[in-house]
A and B are shown apart, each in its own frame.
Chain A
Amino acid sequence: MALADFLAAAAEDEFLPFGAELEAARRFSLDAHEVEGAALRAGLLPERYARNAGSIGLAGQLALHESRVAVIGCGGLGGFILEGLGRLGVGTIVAVDPDRFEASNLNRQLLATVENLGEPKAEAAVRRLRAVNPALRCQGLVERLDASNADRLLAGCGAAADALDSIADRLTLAAAASRLGVALVHGSAAGRFGQAATQLPGENGLARIYGGAETKRGIEAELGTLVFAPMVVAGFQVAELCHLLLGEEPGLKGRMIALDLGFIETSVFSL
């Protein structure tokens, strides 16, 4: 029996049951990513995405499956972004971070646990993504993005997330993304505050946000960061990434949303 026939026989309405996906992988010596691709191309939605169907449909799910996104930074923002992208079903995810977990990360970083203190964040990211959605292709790179490796880290990506924690590194990423034609979804957080913005290729939104070459120290150095700030900002970033990958106009194109989660205020500005 060919794979297509197996999938068609196993389908329940327009869905491919989770058990059938596992059985197809075993029987045809495929990985889950390959099975999901075959199912989506045959018009079947893997059961794990049943609650995505009403909002993005089969074509949208296939577009996400065929997408590649780099998440630069696997800390407070990155952990929540990776979780979101994995559950959405973004087919290939590159998680980049040079650091290892420390106890001071436990207050806000989804991927930090008492068991993995001392481990590279990018490796924890891959483990989590595989546990959430084994149909993803994911790469964890224990590296710091800089001008010399940006081309390699962002290669083939339809979009990237700025989940870094320093202004200088963010500007390096933004310049590289713009040069390489990669859409960048920025987010940052400090204390009870956060912001997000989308920079399309050729735009210079990040340079405007941080005042060009004049690199400043962020207020997080004084305020630290409370967990709800990166949670909320990451939600905006995942939504923007989703819209970009689906070929929709991102709501924050050329704009920045500022969030005050103390007074519960949001403001949107043109960059």
Chain B
Amino acid sequence: MRVTLRLFASLRTGRFDEAEFELPPAATVGEALDAAGVPRLEAAIVFVDGRHADFDHPLAEGDSLGVFPPIGGG
């Protein structure tokens, strides 16, 4: 199945803004990050089709992921 990953903020540096990945059926959010080369520790928040999802959330064909780094400054 194909899913789209969109990276935000500093996660784009040296990677991509948005890219498609081919994953095995029912692959998880965490596995999508692994396939995209985004270390799980750098991915503070993941949204799937605009809703928060945990790393073990199973994906479906055509899902669109948004991935954010931790932003903690004030």
Residues of A within 8 A of B (CB): 73, 75-78, 163-167, 170, 187-191, 193-195, 208-211, 216-220, 222-223, 225, 230, 256, 258, 260, 267-271
Contacts and interface: CB of A to CB of B under 8 A. Distances in A.
A164 B74 contact: yes
5 contacts: A76-B73, A77-B74, A190-B10, A211-B44, A269-B66
Contacts of A217: 70, 72
Interface of B: 8-10, 41-42, 44-45, 47, 50-52, 66, 68-74
Contacts of B41: 216
Contacts of B45: 208-211, 256, 269
Given A194-B71, A225-B73, A268-B50, 5 more contacts: A187-B74, A191-B9, A216-B70, A219-B69, A269-B66
A219 B69 CA distance: 7
A79 to B, nearest CB: 10
A167 B70 contact: yes
B65 to A, nearest CB: 11
Nearest to A72: B74
B52 A270 contact: yes
| Interface secondary structure of A, over-half rule | mixed
Contact of A218 (B47, B52, B71): B71
A193 B74 contact: no
| Interface secondary structure of B, over-half rule | mixed
A188 B72 contact: yes
A219 to B, nearest CB: 5
B60 to A, nearest CB: 17
A167 B8 contact: no
Nearest to B9: A193
A120 B6 CA distance: 41
B11 to A, nearest CB: 9
A230 B9 CA distance: 15
B8 A258 contact: yes
A209 B54 CA distance: 11
Contact of A189 (B42, B66, B70, B73): B73
A165 B72 contact: yes
Closest 6 CB pairs of A and B: A218-B72, A220-B73, A165-B74, A167-B72, A193-B9, A216-B70
Contacts of A194: 71
Given A170-B72, A188-B71, A218-B70, A210 B52 contact: no
A195 B69 CA distance: 11
B50 to A, nearest CB: 5
